[in-house]
Amino acid sequence: MLERKLAEKFRRLYTENSLKLKNYEDQLFLIEDPFDWIQLLSERSYVMREVYAENEELMAELWDNCSEEITPDEAELLYDLAIGFFFDDHHDFVVLTEFCERILPVFKEMDEPEFLVAIYHVLGSEYAQFYRSVGDKKGMSIALDYLRGSIAQAERYSQISAPEVREFIFRDYLQLITYLSGFYTEKDESIRLYDKVWALWNNENVQQRDSDNEQIKGFLSIIDDAFMAKSQNIDVLSEADREKYLSLLGESYRRAKEKDGEKEGTPDFRTCITYKWLRGDIKSEEVLEKLIKSINEILPKPTFSNDDPINFEIVMRHFKYACTAIMVLEKMELDDNERSSYLDRFMPTSMEILSKVPYRFFTGDMQPVCEQWYHAAEPMLSGELNKVQFIMQMIVRRQPFTYIHSQMVAKIATMIGQIILEKEPELLIGVRGMETLEDIQKSKAYILSFITMSGLVHDIGKCYIPDTINRQNRSLNTKEYATIRKHSEVGYREAQNNAALRPYADIIIGHHKHYDGLHGYPLGYDNSESKEKVIIDLISIADSIEAGTDTLTRSYTKNKDFEKLLSELKAEAGTRYNPKIVKLIEDSKELREELGNLTGQGRYDIYYRAMQEILGNAEEELPNI
């Protein structure tokens, strides 16, 4: 049976291990001297392996001491652990969800609303955070059901003594309204939820307890914003639902008007003019002029060197004003020149701020904002290179170790690509429409650029994978492992929606598929049908070389040098790996030496350079494409 002493030991040591790794990662972003930085990275690698082993032991010990059927006393201990981790911002998906799912049946039996709200909130929040970015509908459905379980306890609000747990109910209304994307899921549910949350706030019992609760007021303000953001998809509503939506939005408008609704550049001003535009009271041209004026002349500029919440609020204001301007533009019937004319008047200011948010600036909060800004602004950009640079800025570089890995894969693949061009260029016939050896000889620079870019973007899907998977402070559970295996499909989906990435779509989805097409993943993808098959094979080999020799950022990698890794490539040539590419590597002594240096000491230089790019201290060098 689980005892308090063991539970406290688990929390203390697991927390210490998390903070230990966080401290190393914080230092990696602060140290400027290359030698000191490399030394710290090596130390982190050693500590990461120690933490991994100890956390595995702690998890095993905890569950070994729990009863097969959790008792009420054990449930309370696990509840304290889970809520403690949650309030301390240790969002470890496995720890929090496994604890809460094991104890939920016990607290359902006890029928205690305070415990139920907290457990449902933790489960809903963690599932949503884990599955939202990868677009996993099944996972998000589970998250939404847990959040619905939380708000269902609102009718017993007066029985919940802890104010922070009462706050969870409003937070979960916010999450539901936000995550019910547009009006495409349960079209009228968002409308009903919005109506209910304001009715709850105006309830006498709620006002008696929480009328002065600034946290809840903040949630309600964000709920107003989230509800208005749904206007982008208002066209899918029935006439009755549209009128109900606009009626409720009118209440938000009246609240905003009573505050700063007449003051340009404020959140309330944006609410008021957007509502008037939706009602047809002002024309698109007029609302755009007001938005553009606020963006360029009125909104203050944030100071990124200062982590003051005011600066975060300023960034969010720029984000919402720019997204609203884009939404209005999308609804207007304009030719390309007219649209470009409007974009040229506000996008430079918006891009200057939103595309240059430093990685260390409110990192966790900014991650979803950067994703949303990318998806809002990318269709407005012209030029393939601009679009690729934008996704590298907003998405890839905000996952430091994925970015570093991609830099290494690109370098390795380009080095091997040069040998292919020199020794067996006929392997590349068919790639990017090259039909003859003459085509290939004329296009060597283009082919190498294509190979380099393929390496840089091959793991784009991993940038949408939850951060908890990338921490490597313990082994992955089945849900996490299944999710990490989806990264190639997530990346493929992104590439299909982005004209600049579309040429690399087959490489993105196929780089974990084996050469023979029989194994690897995704199972349903047939790499033999791709005209870029040889590039898929090349990136697959480069990926294996990089990952197999990386002991600095991977807690599970055994200490291998390049020659040991090459023997593995040879052993699986013809099944997992393209035998012709493996043979070219094996036969080139110079290439083997270069790859040995790059995956050994040369790795440190690539890592340091990549980190400087992430910090904005160096410009990323993209090939001409």
Q: Does any domain span residue 52? A: no
**Residue 183 clears pLDDT 50, i.e. is over it:** no
- Chain segment 145-155, per-residue pLDDT in tens: 999 999 999 99
**Residue 182 clears pLDDT 60, i.e. is over it:** no
- Chain segment 486-533, per-residue pLDDT in tens: 999 999 999 998 888 999 999 999 999 999 999 999 989 999 889 999
pLDDT at residue 465, as a whole number: 83
What's the burial of 170, exposed, middle or buried (CB within 10 Å: 0-12/13-18/19+)? buried
Higher pLDDT, 615 or 163: 163
Task: Give the 3-state secondary structure of residue 209.
Answer: helix
Taking all residues of the chain, what is their mean pLDDT, rounded to a whole number? 91
Average pLDDT for 310-330 = 95
Average pLDDT for 11-32 = 90
Average pLDDT for 36-50 = 90
d(C-alpha 444, C-alpha 435), whole Å? 14
- Cα angle for residues 428, 430, 436 (degrees, 5° grid): 80
User: Are 156 and 113 in contact, with CB atoms under 8 Å apart?
Assistant: yes
**Residue 385 clears pLDDT 80, i.e. is over it:** no
pLDDT at residue 184, as a whole number: 43
Q: Does any domain span residue 406? A: yes
**Residue 44 clears pLDDT 60, i.e. is over it:** yes
What's the burial of 127, exposed, middle or buried (CB within 10 Å: 0-12/13-18/19+)? buried
pLDDT at residue 23, as a whole number: 92
**Residue 221 clears pLDDT 90, i.e. is over it:** yes
- Please tell me whether residues 484 and 563 are part of one structural domain: yes
- Please tell me whether residues 368 and 445 are part of one structural domain: no
In this structure, what token pair is assigned to residue 77?
């201990």
Of the listed ranges 213-222, 276-285, 493-502, 581-590, the one predicted with least confidence: 493-502
pLDDT at residue 550, as a whole number: 87
pLDDT at residue 181, as a whole number: 62
Higher pLDDT, 389 or 453: 453
- Please tell me whether residues 435 and 560 are part of one structural domain: yes
- Please tell me whether residues 429 and 530 are part of one structural domain: yes
Q: Which of 380, 407, 434 is the last residue of a domain?
A: 380
Q: Does any domain span residue 624? A: no
pLDDT at residue 542, as a whole number: 98
Q: Which residue is it, tokens 């003594």?
A: 161
**Residue 386 clears pLDDT 50, i.e. is over it:** yes
Q: Which of the four pLDDT bands, split at 50, 70 and 90, describes residue 351?
A: very high
**Residue 555 clears pLDDT 70, i.e. is over it:** no
Q: Which of the four pLDDT bands, split at 50, 70 and 90, describes residue 559?
A: low
- Please tell me whether residues 297 and 433 are part of one structural domain: no
User: Are 234 and 249 in contact, with CB atoms under 8 Å apart?
Assistant: no
What's the burial of 264, exposed, middle or buried (CB within 10 Å: 0-12/13-18/19+)? middle
Q: Does any domain span residue 72? A: no
- Chain segment 240-258, per-residue pLDDT in tens: 888 999 999 999 999 999 9
Q: Does any domain span residue 67? A: no
Q: Which of 329, 345, 380 is the last residue of a domain?
A: 380
Provide the residue range defining the domain that includes 299.
265-380
Q: Does any domain span residue 30? A: no
- Please tell me whether residues 368 and 492 are part of one structural domain: no
CB atoms within 10 A of CB 307: 11
Average pLDDT for 291-309 = 92
pLDDT at residue 29, as a whole number: 86
**Residue 329 clears pLDDT 90, i.e. is over it:** yes
**Residue 371 clears pLDDT 80, i.e. is over it:** yes
Average pLDDT for 48-71 = 92
Q: What is the pTM of this model?
A: 0.89
- Please tell me whether residues 359 and 414 are part of one structural domain: no
Q: Answer positive or negative: Cα dihedral of 35, 37, 38, 44.
A: positive
Q: Does any domain span residue 122? A: no
The torsion angle over the Cα atoms of residues 612, 617, 620 and 621, rounded to 10 degrees, is: -100
CATH number at residue 555: 1.10.3210.10
Share of the chain above pLDDT 70, in %: 96
The tally of domains found in the chain comes to 2
**Residue 470 clears pLDDT 70, i.e. is over it:** no
- Chain segment 116-125, per-residue pLDDT in tens: 999 999 999 9
pLDDT at residue 105, as a whole number: 97
What's the burial of 477, exposed, middle or buried (CB within 10 Å: 0-12/13-18/19+)? middle
- Please tell me whether residues 482 and 355 are part of one structural domain: no
**Residue 585 clears pLDDT 50, i.e. is over it:** yes
pLDDT at residue 382, as a whole number: 82
Average pLDDT for 275-299 = 96
pLDDT at residue 350, as a whole number: 95
d(C-alpha 498, C-alpha 389), whole Å? 12
**Residue 599 clears pLDDT 80, i.e. is over it:** yes
Of the listed ranges 76-85, 398-407, 504-513, 527-536, the one predicted with least confidence: 398-407
- Please tell me whether residues 368 and 405 are part of one structural domain: no
Average pLDDT for 380-403 = 85
The DSSP result for 400-440, as a single string, is HHHHHHHHHHHHHHHHHHHHHHHH-GGGGTTGGG--SHHHH
Select from 448, 490, 476, 479 the least CA-distant residue to 623. 448
Average pLDDT for 566-572 = 96
- Please tell me whether residues 571 and 430 are part of one structural domain: yes
- Please tell me whether residues 421 and 541 are part of one structural domain: yes
Q: Which of the four pLDDT bands, split at 50, 70 and 90, describes residue 368?
A: confident
d(C-alpha 207, C-alpha 358), whole Å? 40
Q: Does any domain span residue 336? A: yes
Q: Which of the four pLDDT bands, split at 50, 70 and 90, describes residue 186?
A: low
- Please tell me whether residues 438 and 343 are part of one structural domain: no
**Residue 556 clears pLDDT 70, i.e. is over it:** no
User: Are 62 and 2 in contact, with CB atoms under 8 Å apart?
Assistant: yes
